[in-house]
Amino acid sequence: MAISRNRKEELVSTYVDMLEKGNAVFITDYGGMSVSKLEKLRVKLREVNGSLFVSKNTLFRVALEQTGRPVPQELLQGRTAICFALGEAPALAKVLLKHATEEELFNIRGGVLDQSVLT
């Protein structure tokens, strides 16, 4: 389903805001996970002051460029869920790692911490 230009601009604006509020973002692959499992992960992430967005790679790439952060092209392939750390990045990383061990369809590709690309 196509996304309108206004909606795309709104999403980029949201991503820019989240990038400016936090210091880390994790790029994940959620391919094939059910909506209910994604929602359970979102709840766990909110508990550690994080959030998850299923994103179009191009829109997230634009947000990274607008905030002056590095763009890890190799990580932005296929189905992508973006996890923003608005609090402590290690706490969010622990939740993501635990979820990745419990859910075989969920993989952490890497991320961006301040100006560094994490693999």
| pLDDT single digits (tens) 7-51 | 999 999 999 999 999 989 999 999 889 999 999 999 999 999 999
> For residue 22, how many other CB atoms are within 10 A of its CB?
21
Q: For residues 57 and 46, give the distance between their C-alpha atoms in angstroms, rounded to a whole number.
A: 23
| CB distance 59 to 11 below 8 Å | yes
Model confidence, pTM:
0.92
